[in-house]
Amino acid sequence: MLLYIVKRVIAAIPLIFGLLTITFFIIRMAPGDPASLYLQGNVDPGIADRVRRNFGLDDPLPVQYVKWLKAMATGEFGVSFSKHRPVVDILADAIPNTLILTTLALFLNIALGVLIGTLSAVTRGSWVDNITTVLALFVYSIPEFWLALMLILGVSLHLDLLPAAQMHSPNADQLPAFAYILDLAKHLVLPVFVLGFASAAATGRYMRGSLLDVIKQDYIRTARAKGLPEWKVVGKHAMRNAMIPVITIVGLSLPFLLGGAVVVEAVFDWPGMGNVLLEAIFSRDYPVVIALTAVSGFMVVLGNLLADILYAVVDPRIRLE
Amino acid sequence: MTRNSFALLKLMSSNIPTGIALIPGFGHLRNGKIKSGLVIFFLYVGLLLIAFFRFNLFISGLKSFLYSLVLLVIRGEEPMRLFRAEIVEHWIASLFLLALLVAIPVWAYSKSVQRWTPTDDHAISQVALAWQEFKMQRIAVFGLLTILIMYGIALLCPLVAPYDPNALQDPRVTKFQPPFSSVRYLVMKKPRVAAVISSAGELGEGFVNDLIRRLKEANATLVQSGLEHLLFITEYHVEADFVVATQGKSALRIPIHDLRGESPADWEGKRFYFLGTDRYGRDIFSRLIYGSRISLALGLIAVLLAVTVGTLVGLLSGYFGGYVDKSLMRFVDILLAFPNLFFILIIIALFQQLPFPRVFLIVAVLGLTSWMGISRLVRGQVLSLKEEEFVLAARALGFKHKRIILRHILPNALTPIIVNATLRIGGIILVEAALSFLNLGVEPPTASWGNIIYGGKDYLSTAWWISTFPGFAIVLTVISFNLVGDGLRDALDPRIRI
């Protein structure tokens, strides 16, 4: 097992390396000299030169590339233009906010997805299956941001049940601990629902397919033949194997935990990574944009790695390959 | 429709005389194909209605195209000065409508008088076989029909859209009109913009000048409809030589001779807003129709790009294997490691200063970030096809790599590519809408479904209709593509066919 993990980790290193390389070249390919991105408007050429030297832009390209790799490896992302704070600090503020949103959404996604998928597979061909199939297709085709707006329209504006935006109420700081958490929870309901609901449709389809594959197998017939109740056959024998592909989703969802909520964060004005990115894009805050690319790319690689390892944990055959 | 009345309709239609097959759809009805017959018939009626209600625009569009063509042939580049994007739009719409009006009856007639004899299965081509399978899936056919109608509307949009999607007229009165409301207006004598097309008087006699004059007239009709000066008002009454009109709280006094015609019937009118208006008083329904062009065209082009690149990489990687395969697949792995929307946003952010409209950047980015899945798929196909006997035979015959790849491997790998591409279009349309919604998509004032929703999101409590309707359009389109994709997968998969 350990050997397998080590192998996987070693395989991930060139991936991160390639990721950073491509990011470097995309940034260099973008129109305009990076220095001119830092300097807005007409600046004295002397100052522009100095900026260029400061950023090491007069070095030859390979030297710049090595410096870039070094900076990314040590997490030196520089200082934000628009906020005049170190990028690392900005990210440190935003990451927990996004994580609480996306982690809950991921739980909802898997719980709902497994439930729907199982229900659909067990009742295959019946009206329950047909309805869930059609519903899943429908949900899958709804734009997230539109669903969010419609929920705000119905639940927040018309029924006035839940807050429509932000993470806390304006007076949240003065609330006692319990009320503070309740306030946060209220703000979480809609965004978590939007994020989790749409992806649950996909997970449900996945679960259905995989469960149907498993149910056909001989050992399930054996379980039925020895007189086990159906819920035990499905719940204990079939589900365990059917969950394997679903577990992969958990691993592959890791990058989603940081970057998957851009649109939803924008709609709900959630102070997370997505909003940081959008703000950075609109104010041309390049150090932040670059840092986000590197961090999110890193998360994807980590997610793939985790998926591989989880896979090996649940399916011992893979370890031996 | 109950089964009984359906049978009755079938019985009735079998007595229809042959000549009636000339009416589109009736031929199918006569042959007992009730559903196809009704669909064809009502589609054709719809087209006729468009041609009837927009007759002036339709004919002017055809005239404008014809005159321009003739002028182009005899005078070279000169008429190019008269070309404008919106006129080309009208040409496309008018020509397309004409083509449909002619082609549908011809096709329907030839189809319905054709004596179809069941041949044995071996005589049917793969495509016909797949189509037969596809037709069995009602819901997929419904999706396909929806998509075809949507593309039709997108091509016909100057004729279908009731108003100019970008016209800003008296927003004080026209803004935030709810669906199914209407606003009254007065028509002024002078057009809104002083004649764009210069007067025909300066031209001399002769065939060419005559032609130019006619072209200008036709173009004027096409452009004019949006240039009429309409004064939108809440109320008005006549006082001696003046018309006193109110626009919300302010009042206006307009001399009667500035209005068109003599009597109120000549100068007053009403504009009906089917889906309401936005904060500038633009008609949502027209914007929705024009916006469909962005989503539909962009989805298709981006997918074609993705399929081309993906297939190429997959073929090379799978066929040549070894070194080529390893490096290409590593590259694919790295690209797959970028989180999709995040990555797209970052590229668009970095390439903000562009000498061309952002649509092209978006097409390129969407296409070039979604080919990796296809290339893996194609590679897998090629790896298994490579070992098949017919490929080995082709190789033994000494065929070139190019021929083996293009003639023997690619056609056999095409099925999953087509299915995957169809299923991918929906996803690409969703991403485009999200980009527009984040205000990073198509630049306003060009309408796209995403940016109409963006424009309405701050007015949800007062004007819910702005953001609501484009969402339905997106859902309908994406579902249709997914249905067709699913249907194609089932129809093209030979394992299911047996």
| Mean pLDDT of the residues in chain B | 82
Nearest to A79 by CA among A251, A280, A313, A257: A280
Angle between helices B3-14 and B34-53 (to 10 degrees): 80
Averaged pLDDT for residues B88-94: 89
Q: Between A71 and B90, where is the model more confident?
A: B90
User: Among B339, B433, B464, whose Cβ lies nearest the Cβ of A143?
Assistant: B433
Whole-angstrom distance, CA of residue B147 vs CA of residue B476 = 9
Q: Does the CA dihedral A172-A177-A179-A180 come out positive or negative?
A: positive
Give A155 to chain B, closest Cα distance, Å: 12
Which of the four pLDDT bands, split at 50, 70 and 90, describes residue B1?
very low
Cα B18 from Cα B402, distance rounded (Å): 52
Is B333 close to A15, i.e. CB distance below 8 A? yes
Residue ranges of alpha helices (H) inside A173-268 are 177-215, 218-225, 230-232, 239-252, 254-259, 262-268
DSSP code, position A166: S
Contacts of B482 in chain A (CB under 8 A): 137, 140-141
pLDDT digits (tens, 9 = 90+) for B232-242: 888 787 877 78
Using the predicted structure, report yes or no on whether residue B269 has a pLDDT greater than 60.
yes
CA distance B364 to chain A (A): 14
Pick from A293, A189, A194, A314: which is nearest to A244 by CA? A314
pLDDT band with cut points at 50, 70 and 90 for residue B152: very high
Banded model confidence at residue B375, pLDDT cuts 50, 70, 90: very high
Q: Using CA of residue A9, residue A13, residue A18, residue A24, what is the dihedral sign? A: positive
Residues linked to residue B182 through DSSP beta bridges, in sequence order: B272
Does the pLDDT value for residue B6 go beyond 70? no
Amino acid B498: pLDDT: 42
First to last CA, chain A: 11
Assign 3-class secondary structure to chain B: CCHHHHHHHHHHHHCCCHHHHHCCCHHHHHCCCHHHHHHHHHHHHHHHHHHHHCHHHHHHHHHHHHHHHHHHHHHCCHHHHHCCHHHHHHHHHHHHHHHHHHHHHHHHHHHHHCCCCCCCHHHCCHHHHHHHHHHHCHHHHHHHHHHHHHHHHHHCHHHHCCCCCCCCCCHHHHCCCCCCEEEEEEEECCCCCCCCCCCHHHCCCCHHHHHHHHHHHHHHHHHHCCCCCEEEECEEEEECCEEEEEECCEEEEEEHHHECCCCHHHHEEEEEECCCECCCCCEHHHHHHHHHHHHHHHHHHHHHHHHHHHHHHHHHHHHHCHHHHHHHHHHHHHHHHCCHHHHHHHHHHHCCCCCCCHHHHHHHHHHHCCCHHHHHHHHHHHHHHCCCHHHHHHHHCCCCHHHHHHHHHHHHHHHHHHHHHHHHHHHHHHHHHHHHHCCCCCCCCCCCHHHHHHHHHHHCCCCCHHHHHHHHHHHHHHHHHHHHHHHHHHHHCHHHHC
The model carries a pTM of 0.86
Contacts of B172 (CB under 8 A, 6+ apart): B247, B248, B250
Would you give the distance in Å from CA B269 to the centre of its chain? Answer: 30
CB contact under 8 A, B346 and A32: no
B350 CB neighbours in chain A (<8 A) are 26-27, 30, 286, 289
DSSP conformation class of A145: H
Whether the pLDDT of residue A239 is over 80: the answer is yes
d(CA B281, CA B304): 37
pLDDT tens-digit map of A40-57: 556 666 776 776 666 666
Buried b (16+ CB within 10 A) or exposed e, B368-388: bbbbbbbbbbbbebbeebbee
For B313-324, write each residue's pLDDT tens digit.
Answer: 999 999 988 888
Per-residue pLDDT reduced to its tens digit, A22-41: 877 777 776 665 566 566 55
Interchain proximity B337–A304, CB inside 8 Å: yes
Contacts of B487 in chain A (CB under 8 A): none
pLDDT at B200 over 50: no
d(CA A298, CA B128): 48
Q: Please tell me the CATH superfamily of domain A88-314, with its number.
A: MetI-like (1.10.3720.10)
The pLDDT, as a whole number, for residue B270 is 82
Q: Do A149 and B341 touch (CB under 8 A)?
A: no
* pLDDT value at B79 more than 80: no
Q: Does residue B359 contact residue B298 with C-beta atoms inside 8 Å?
A: yes
- Cβ contacts of residue B426 below 8 Å, gap of 6+? A141, B299, B477, B478, B479, B481, B482, B485
pLDDT at position B85 is 74
Q: Which of B342, B352, B475 sits opposite A142 (nearest CB)?
A: B475
SS3 A39: coil
Pull the structure tokens for residue B210. 């005559």
> Which H or E run contains A73?
helix A61-73
Gap between the Cα atoms of A207 and A159, Å rounded: 35
User: What does the pLDDT read at residue B288?
Assistant: 93
CA distance B165 to chain A (A): 22
pLDDT of residue B386: 86
Overall average pLDDT of the A228-238 stretch: 85
A-facing residues of B in 327-366 (CB < 8 A) are 330-331, 333-339, 341-343, 345-354
- Give the residue from B253, B188, B185 showing the smallest Cα distance to B227: B188
Side chain identity at B172, as an amino acid letter? Answer: R
pLDDT at A145 exceeding the cut of 70: yes
Residue A253: which residues within 8 A CB-CB, separation 6 or more? A106, A109, A199, A260, A303
Give whichever of B118-127, B341-350, B453-462 has the largest mean pLDDT.
Answer: B453-462
Q: Is B39 on the interface with A (CB under 8 A)?
A: no
Residue of chain A whose Cα is closest to the Cα of B468 = A150
C-alpha A48/C-alpha A79 separation (Å) is: 18
Sorted by where each begins, the domain ranges of chain A are 12-73, 88-314
pLDDT higher than 60, residue B214: yes
Residue of B nearest to A291 (CA): B346
Residues of B in contact with A258 (CB under 8 A): 339
Residues B351, A140: C-beta atoms closer than 8 Å: no
Output the pLDDT for position B81: 63
Lowest-confidence pick of B208-217, B395-404, B421-430:
B208-217
Supply the ipTM of this predicted assembly: 0.84
Burial B92-119 (b: 16+ CB within 10 A, else e): bbbeebbebbeebbeebbebbeeeeeee
Q: Do B335 and A153 touch (CB under 8 A)?
A: no
User: Per-residue pLDDT tens for B245-261?
Assistant: 888 778 878 887 777 77
Beta bridge partners of B246: B235, B251
Report the C-alpha gap between A107 and A112 in whole angstroms. Answer: 8
The answer to whether B471 faces chain A, any CB pair under 8 Å, is yes
- Cβ atoms within 10 Å of A210's Cβ, excluding its own: 20
Q: Helix, strand, or coil here: A108?
A: helix
- Whether B232 and B247 have beta carbons less than 8 Å apart is answered as yes
Six token digits for residue B176: 């935030």
Strands B235-239 and B230-233: unpaired
Q: CB–CB of A257/A299 below 8 Å?
A: yes
The pLDDT value given to residue B337:
67
Strands laid side by side in the B250-255 sheet = B235-239, B242-247, B250-255
pLDDT band at A272 (very low <50, low <70, confident <90, very high): confident
Q: Which of B7-21, B316-330, B465-479 holds the top average pLDDT?
A: B465-479
Nearest CB among A15, A31, A150 relative to B351 is that of A31
Instruction: Note whether B461 contacts A: Cβ–Cβ < 8 A.
Output: yes
Contact A150 B471 (CB under 8 A): yes
DSSP-derived 3-state class of residue A31? coil
A255-268 as b/e: b if 16+ CB within 10 A: bbbbbbbbbbbbbb
Strand-pair partners of B251: B246
Percent of chain B past pLDDT 70, that is, above it, reads: 87
Angle at B69 between CA B64 and CA B73, to 5 degrees: 150
Q: If you measure CA to CA, which chain A residue comes closest to B335?
A: A19
CA distance B16 to chain A (A): 39
Residues in chain B: 498
Whether chain A has a CB inside 8 Å of the CB on B451: the answer is: no
User: The tokens 């697949």 sit on which residue?
Assistant: B329
Candidates B334, B423, B458, B480: best to mutate against A (most CBs of A within 10 A) is B334
Q: CB distance from B392 to chain A under 8 Å? A: no
- Do residues B456 and B276 make contact, with C-beta atoms less than 8 angstroms apart? no
Name which residue leads in pLDDT, A187 or B16.
A187
What are B391-401's pLDDT values in tens digits? 889 989 989 88
Indicate the range of A152-156, B110-114, B118-122, B291-295 predicted with least confidence: B118-122
- pLDDT band for position A125 (cuts 50, 70, 90): confident
Report yes or no: B243 and B254 within 8 Å, Cβ to Cβ. Answer: yes
CB atoms within 10 A of CB B121: 7
Residue B354 has pLDDT above 60, yes or no: yes
Q: In whole angstroms, what is the distance from residue B229 CA to residue B224 CA?
A: 10
- Please name which of B183, B191, B150, B213 lies closest in space to residue B276, comparing C-alpha atoms: B183
Q: How many CB pairs under 8 A join A and B?
A: 132
pLDDT digits (tens, 9 = 90+) for B429-450: 999 999 999 888 888 788 899 9
